[in-house]
Chains A and B, each alone.
Chain A
Amino acid sequence: MLHEIILLLAGNTSGLFIEKNGQILLHPSVQPLHPGERELINDIVSLASKRKRIERYIEIFDEDLIQQNQFLLKALRLLLSKKLFLYDESLANLERMIISSDPYFVGSGKFVSLAQLEAHLADWKETLSSLLVLQGNISQCLSVASTFQKLHNMYMGSTHLNFKKLVLECECAFQKTWLDELVQYLVNDSGDDSFKCSFLCGDTKDFVSCSNNVPFLTQDIVNCLVSIRTCMLNAKKCFTDAFCEILRCFYRLVYEMPLPLTKSSVTKLADEMFTLVSEKIIFQLASFHQIFDLVKMLEMVMLLENVEFLPTLSEMFRDVRGEYCSSNDVQGVVIDDILPVVLRKTISLLDLATEYGECVSFLKLVSIFDEEDEMIRSENRKIDVEGLNMQLLLCLKWPFNLFMDKNALNVYSDLWILLGSLHLSITKIKSLFYERKEYTAKGISQPWTQLWVTLWFLSSLQYYAYECVIKPSYCKLRESLTELYRTQKLRMQDCSQLHALTLTYAKKMLFFYDDDLHISLNSIYHELSLFRSQEVSKVDCQLAAHVSHSIECIRQKENDPSYDREIINALIVQLNL
């Protein structure tokens, strides 16, 4: 009867056993057995019922099920069938040992007992139950992140070593599949994108706000992977050679990944992938020289180190608007039409195209009309050119957008406004001084001393901004980029990191976060706007007060360790004079 039992364990049916509530038991009609014997046999054949349950799960697996973790369930199925195959092998081995009277198993007595059989299969009894637990737990999960989370919890929660091993094995198998799927995702644009993205980050389709990530992923890695994908998809069209080479490298990298995955190893993987991509694709399209030009343009135009830019822009604006107004009546409609013309004319007049190459095409001039938009952004930050609130935006196209993220673009726009207003105010005060004679002739007296103090303050601030902060830091940035290029170690992530560092430094040193200072600066600008149109009495003029308040604000930074103390001190000393 041993043969029958083993055959039953191997997944065959038997006439001596019946299935009752999912349990396989010896048929009650088999009479002459001892109750103990019956018990023992039932105990052994419990394996058969477990096997059956696993087998059924494998068979009814729905290929067409659309579920985020579908590919993981497929991997689970593969794992289960592999385990079952091993189990069958061990049964076949057992059968062989009995038939061939293997002396190690059968012994000299050439006799196999039920107890021996039971002992031989004890390991499998445990393994099959563990597999069932695993399968039951995983099939409850609906998303990739929750599946990995569940596995992690199961691993941590169990005290059983063998179970832990099994969970780890499963986790590794899943991670392998995940990596394969990742490579597929990185190079294919077919299929539902948001669905695909979900295997990178949790349940939500939104990348940014998602906290429930796959355990070995961080937001940085996800961002990096998404940019790699963009590059690969773009490269697919024009760089077939490079694309294929990179793809091969990707597979190599993925296959060499040590399992189980950790955050650091995946970070390393993403980093290596990005290095490859930046070397083979990004710098082919956005050469180092173009990036260098871009940095230069950022410094000169966006941060207005080029002093001619803003005056030329406003002049052009006046001209073009004049032209348009003569032919068109409705002013509001034309503004958006004329701004590109204004920018184009300014660029050609200043010959920025020869200086900064193609990068100038990334610039875009827009007007701020929407009040809501203004509220969202800082309401104090606007630049008034000829009575119009305009803003210079950067619209980087791929692959230049890898150089900086959206936030950085916004920061540049804000800094443009900040430095632009400063610049315009200084010009205005200067022009007031130039026209002093005229005013005196007309008998209008202005609070000249206060104006003088304001001019001195603003000029010091401007000098500080350009000579102490922007120029040195961007110079350093360009130098380090050149150094990287020279040593053949140019990588896009390094470039963007260097740039981000510089930008953060500049932002901080330009008191970007100090709203107090900005309010008082804005008050100064506001006060100044009252000039020229009317007489400002000495009593009403609050310029001096605002200036001293601003200086006070700057002075507070003196002992703030987050600022570059040397430079701040220099400014304060200058202001104390």
Chain B
Amino acid sequence: MDGIMKNDLLWFGNHVFDLTPNSFDSDFVEQLSKFEGKEGLKRKLFDSSEYFQNFSFQVNDDLLGKDVILDISNQQLTPAVPGCETSSNSKLISASKEITSERKRAKSSVSPSYLTDSSPSDLSVENKVLLTCPSWDGENFKNLEARSPFISEAPSRVYDYFLHNQDWSPKPLFSALQVYPLATIFNCVAGLPQGFESTVFPWNKTSSTFELDPTISVSGMSDECFASIVQKFSAIGGLIKKALNEFSLYKTNISFYLSNFIVNGVLQYRKEFQRWLRLYEFRRFGLIGLSNFVNSFSSFFELISHFLIKSAQNLKGDSLLDFLFDYARSCQNTISYPIALQCLIYCSNPYFKRLELALKVSCAYGHIDSSLFLSLPRFFPSELCVSIEQCIQFLSLIREQKEIFNKNNKEFINPLNIRFAYSFNDINQACVIEERCNFSSLSFGNLEQTSVNNDSEEFETLLAKMNMTPDFNDNLLQLKFTDDVRNVCPLNLNVCCCIAEPIQSFILSFLRSTYKVLKNDFQVFDLLNFFHSTFLFQNYEFSDNVISLLKSRRLDKSDRNELAEDLNSDDRYNFISRLKKFIFMEKEKNGLSRSLSKSITFTLDSASVSEFEDVYPDLQFQCQVIGALRILFTDNSLNYYSKTFSYVLHLFQAQSDFESSVELKDRSIVTKTTIMSWSKYQGTKESLFQFLSIYIPECMLPFTKLLKSIYSPDCPTNIQNSAIKNAASVHEQCTKAIYQKVKELFDTMKLWESSIKVS
């Protein structure tokens, strides 16, 4: 009989309980097949099964050795054969041959349904022994005389008297062989919340649930009570089984991490479970203890069930991060928050790492993986998303000048340490959280060594590397299944301090480097000065030159043919070339280097704008910049510059026209027209002077002030952030205001002109 007990099979009449790991073998194999090719996880599953093996053997030993003996007090049977207590696991395993032979013998001696030659007397003894409850108030049996008048205080076998069927017809006492002591099937019950299948609770694949054999009753417990416990456990077990099935299928990047988190979490939960079972020896706890222990993982189960439902909606990688975030947010101030946050941290870290790496690679080599920056998670502050996009745009502009970019690319590489923090101490301590993703092979240092030749092909492979092929050896840190919510960093703080702040500082330092490059390599200030002196006529010498040119033009014209409507092409060419000369003089004066002039192109040509058609000169002075200069000199502002130039030129022209019309007239005859022309000349001159010397500097002041403040060393870092971003738009606004003002002037001048013509 001992042989049977110690072995992995328990025989109860026609019921066989298989309590060894062998019964889970099919389960394991099935699970393992799902992780085919994923050796790490497979190994982990094996690790976990080892625990189970140890545990089962021990329990068997415990169960079959001591309990039975304690319980047979009423039967006055002699205690167990001395060998039973010394038989340890190792002995069992090492002497496997012996045991098998013993088992065979045992089988042959006991089991009537399998082996016909068993004696009935043996069977009855065994049944009596096993059907008493070994653990639950079995001790009461020792008192031969009852101490209490109450039947309900009597041991479980007495209680079984109350057992009844659904219709309250009494169950025949001890007649049913299906009434087992709890201890015998406890192992199966304990396997249930871990998602392990057993003969008592087989897994139904079609309905994806654990099934309970309705014919089984437990001694000392009503059927309903047992069923309600089993139901609870099987729901959890089912969840775990489903999770293992479901999450082993994910392939995309972030979902991989989610499934890895959940699968690893399940394994850790099972480990904890085994540890707990070993820690409290079998006899020291009961069903309530078990269910309490299982309940302490409820937040983890909640997480699993949440994502099981979500996974049905077929989530994509990016939205999954948002879902994780939303889940963590909804869990705030509940016990589920710690585990939700851990999940978020685990799944988001690879994403953040990838983002950082992508930014680094972009900054270092100018290869931009824009897809990563276009689909940033929703919890990123929206203005920061815009800023990042802007940075990337700037970067691509700077990259257009390869030498400059290569010279300065190190300036742009700033660390971007974004990762969610779990506890308050973790905030802004980038090193606290262990590096979970193995980047050693593709860390930035190595990238530099391999010196990418800027070949697009190579970059593709780099990006492929950056996808960070999921690694099953990637170990999850010990999860904190239960933690005080107060120790955990609130999400609000997390987003502010761990996401927004680092991104912001990254953007800020990036923009600073950009502006530094603009100043040093693109000579923004010189260019601006040049623009001011030419387009906006801020240089008196230049404007004087232009005016005198216009005047001489007027004289030439009057000399030749005063009424000539069409312009001589030579004449135009002459004028343009002289104007160009002045412009080049200005350019040299402002110290614009030759290298820079490559990125700026000027065109001085006939204007296509209709309002200039009847006015001479119909010239348009246009400028185009390429590359990084476009950061500050946008197309719009350049357009405004160009238009301002044309209008001012017209105003100069009009001024000189008025002047000449006064001068050319016979001085002795003072007509009304002369006086009008004279006053208009004065008016134009004055308003032009005011416009050039007062209005333009005043208008440009915000922009120049802004630029100066950006480059001043003592400017506070924060306030400038938005200013740095908006410099281009400020520039646009300033130039627009100037353009509008000059247009106003031009319109009034036109009115005057027509009034003179009429009179």
Q: Which residues of A contact B (CB under 8 A)?
A: 1-8, 10, 12-16, 27, 29-30, 32-34, 37, 40-41, 63, 71, 74-75, 78, 81, 85, 88-89, 91-92, 95-96, 98-101, 106, 109-114, 176-177, 180, 183-184, 187-188, 237-244, 247-248, 251-252, 255, 284
Given contacts A89-B292, A248-B493, contact A3 B147 (CB under 8 A): no
Contacts of A95 in B (CB 8 A): 285-289
> Are the CB atoms of A100 and B721 closer together than 8 Å?
no
Partner of A114, one of B150, B220, B493: B150
Partner of B224, one of A5, A14, A177, A188: A14
Partner of B334, one of A29, A78, A240: A78
Does B333 count as interface, using CB distance less than 8 angstroms?
A: yes
Contacts of A237 in B (CB 8 A): 722
Given contacts A109-B143, A113-B148, A241-B505, contact A12 B295 (CB under 8 A): no
- Give CA–CA (A88, B296) in the complex, Å: 11
> Are the CB atoms of B333 and A177 closer together than 8 Å?
yes
Which residue on A lies nearest to B149, using beta carbons? Answer: A34
> Are the CB atoms of A240 and B718 closer together than 8 Å?
yes
Contacts of A71 in B (CB 8 A): 333
Does B447 count as interface, using CB distance less than 8 angstroms?
A: no
Given contacts A4-B220, A251-B493, contact A101 B139 (CB under 8 A): yes
> Are the CB atoms of A15 and B285 closer together than 8 Å?
no
- Give CA–CA (A111, B135) in the complex, Å: 14
Rounded to whole Å, the gap between the CB of B177 and the closest CB of chain A is 20
Q: What are 7 of the A-B contact pairs (CB < 8 Å)? A: A16-B162, A89-B292, A240-B504, A241-B717, A247-B496, A248-B493, A284-B719
- Give CA–CA (A13, B148) in the complex, Å: 26
Rounded to whole Å, the gap between the CB of A62 and the closest CB of chain B is 14
- Give CA–CA (A154, B330) in the complex, Å: 31
Does B153 count as interface, using CB distance less than 8 angstroms?
A: yes
> Are the CB atoms of B497 and A244 closer together than 8 Å?
yes
Given contacts A37-B150, A241-B501, A244-B501, contact A4 B137 (CB under 8 A): no
Rounded to whole Å, the gap between the CB of B138 and the closest CB of chain A is 9
Does B486 count as interface, using CB distance less than 8 angstroms?
A: yes
> Are the CB atoms of A8 and B721 closer together than 8 Å?
no
Which residue on A lies nearest to B136, using beta carbons? Answer: A3
Rounded to whole Å, the gap between the CB of B503 and the closest CB of chain A is 9
> Are the CB atoms of B152 and A41 closer together than 8 Å?
yes
> Are the CB atoms of B333 and A75 closer together than 8 Å?
yes
Given contacts A74-B334, A99-B284, A241-B505, contact A1 B718 (CB under 8 A): no
Contacts of A100 in B (CB 8 A): 283-284
- Give CA–CA (A247, B496) in the complex, Å: 8
Given contacts A3-B286, A101-B139, A187-B492, contact A12 B716 (CB under 8 A): no
Contacts of B718 in A (CB 8 A): 238-242
Does B291 count as interface, using CB distance less than 8 angstroms?
A: yes
- Give CA–CA (A180, B164) in the complex, Å: 53
Partner of B496, one of A14, A78, A187: A187
- Give CA–CA (A251, B492) in the complex, Å: 11
Contacts of A255 in B (CB 8 A): 486
Does B366 count as interface, using CB distance less than 8 angstroms?
A: no
Contacts of B497 in A (CB 8 A): 244, 247-248
> Are the CB atoms of B143 and A284 closer together than 8 Å?
no
> Are the CB atoms of B722 and A98 closer together than 8 Å?
no
> Are the CB atoms of A183 and B492 closer together than 8 Å?
yes
> Are the CB atoms of A96 and B143 closer together than 8 Å?
no
Contacts of A251 in B (CB 8 A): 424, 490, 493
Contacts of B162 in A (CB 8 A): 1, 16, 30
> Are the CB atoms of A12 and B168 closer together than 8 Å?
no
Which residue on B lies nearest to A252, using beta carbons? Answer: B424
The interface residues of chain B, by DSSP majority, are classed as helix
Given contacts A113-B148, A248-B427, contact A14 B222 (CB under 8 A): yes
- Give CA–CA (A329, B154) in the complex, Å: 110
Which residue on B lies nearest to A41, using beta carbons? Answer: B152
Rounded to whole Å, the gap between the CB of B189 and the closest CB of chain A is 13
> Are the CB atoms of B286 and A96 closer together than 8 Å?
yes
- Give CA–CA (A238, B490) in the complex, Å: 23
Rounded to whole Å, the gap between the CB of A179 and the closest CB of chain B is 11
Rounded to whole Å, the gap between the CB of B346 and the closest CB of chain A is 23
> Are the CB atoms of A2 and B286 closer together than 8 Å?
no
Partner of A247, one of B135, B333, B493, B719: B493
Contacts of A32 in B (CB 8 A): 151, 161
Given contacts A12-B229, A13-B228, A106-B139, contact A113 B333 (CB under 8 A): no
- Give CA–CA (A180, B424) in the complex, Å: 14
| B279-310 vs A, Cβ < 8 Å mask (1 yes, 0 no) | 01001111111011001000000000000000
> Are the CB atoms of B500 and A1 closer together than 8 Å?
no
Chain A CB within 10 Å, residue with most, of B137, B140, B149: B137
> Are the CB atoms of A78 and B333 closer together than 8 Å?
yes
> Are the CB atoms of A113 and B153 closer together than 8 Å?
yes
Rounded to whole Å, the gap between the CB of B175 and the closest CB of chain A is 18
- Give CA–CA (A446, B685) in the complex, Å: 56
> Are the CB atoms of B333 and A2 closer together than 8 Å?
no
- Give CA–CA (A199, B272) in the complex, Å: 42
Contacts of B288 in A (CB 8 A): 6-7, 10, 88, 91-92, 95
Contacts of B143 in A (CB 8 A): 109-111
Does B620 count as interface, using CB distance less than 8 angstroms?
A: no
Rounded to whole Å, the gap between the CB of A361 and the closest CB of chain B is 15
| B146-170 vs A, Cβ < 8 Å mask (1 yes, 0 no) | 0111111110101101101000100
Contacts of B151 in A (CB 8 A): 1, 32-34, 37
> For residues 470 through 520 of chain B, which have their beta carbon under 8 Å from a beta carbon of chain A?
486, 490, 492-493, 496-497, 500-501, 504-505
> Are the CB atoms of A238 and B223 closer together than 8 Å?
no
Rounded to whole Å, the gap between the CB of B703 and the closest CB of chain A is 19
> Are the CB atoms of B221 and A96 closer together than 8 Å?
no
Does B142 count as interface, using CB distance less than 8 angstroms?
A: yes
18 further contact pairs, Cβ within 8 A, besides A1-B151, A37-B150, A95-B288: A2-B153, A3-B221, A4-B221, A88-B288, A92-B289, A95-B285, A95-B287, A96-B286, A113-B148, A114-B153, A238-B721, A240-B500, A241-B501, A244-B496, A244-B500, A244-B501, A248-B427, A248-B497
Contacts of B150 in A (CB 8 A): 33-34, 37, 40, 113-114
Does B335 count as interface, using CB distance less than 8 angstroms?
A: yes
Does B564 count as interface, using CB distance less than 8 angstroms?
A: no
Partner of B722, one of A33, A96, A106, A238: A238
Contacts of B563 in A (CB 8 A): none
> Are the CB atoms of A15 and B222 closer together than 8 Å?
yes
Which residue on A lies nearest to B160, using beta carbons? Answer: A1
- Give CA–CA (A29, B156) in the complex, Å: 19
Given contacts A89-B292, A251-B493, contact A99 B223 (CB under 8 A): no
Contacts of B221 in A (CB 8 A): 3-4, 7
- Give CA–CA (A104, B724) in the complex, Å: 75
> Are the CB atoms of B291 and A10 closer together than 8 Å?
yes
> Are the CB atoms of A110 and B292 closer together than 8 Å?
no
> Are the CB atoms of A2 and B137 closer together than 8 Å?
yes
- Give CA–CA (A8, B287) in the complex, Å: 12
Given contacts A92-B289, A240-B500, contact A33 B152 (CB under 8 A): yes
Chain B CB within 10 Å, residue with most, of A1, A30, A110: A1
Contacts of B154 in A (CB 8 A): 1
Does B95 count as interface, using CB distance less than 8 angstroms?
A: no
Does B758 count as interface, using CB distance less than 8 angstroms?
A: no
> Are the CB atoms of B220 and A3 closer together than 8 Å?
yes
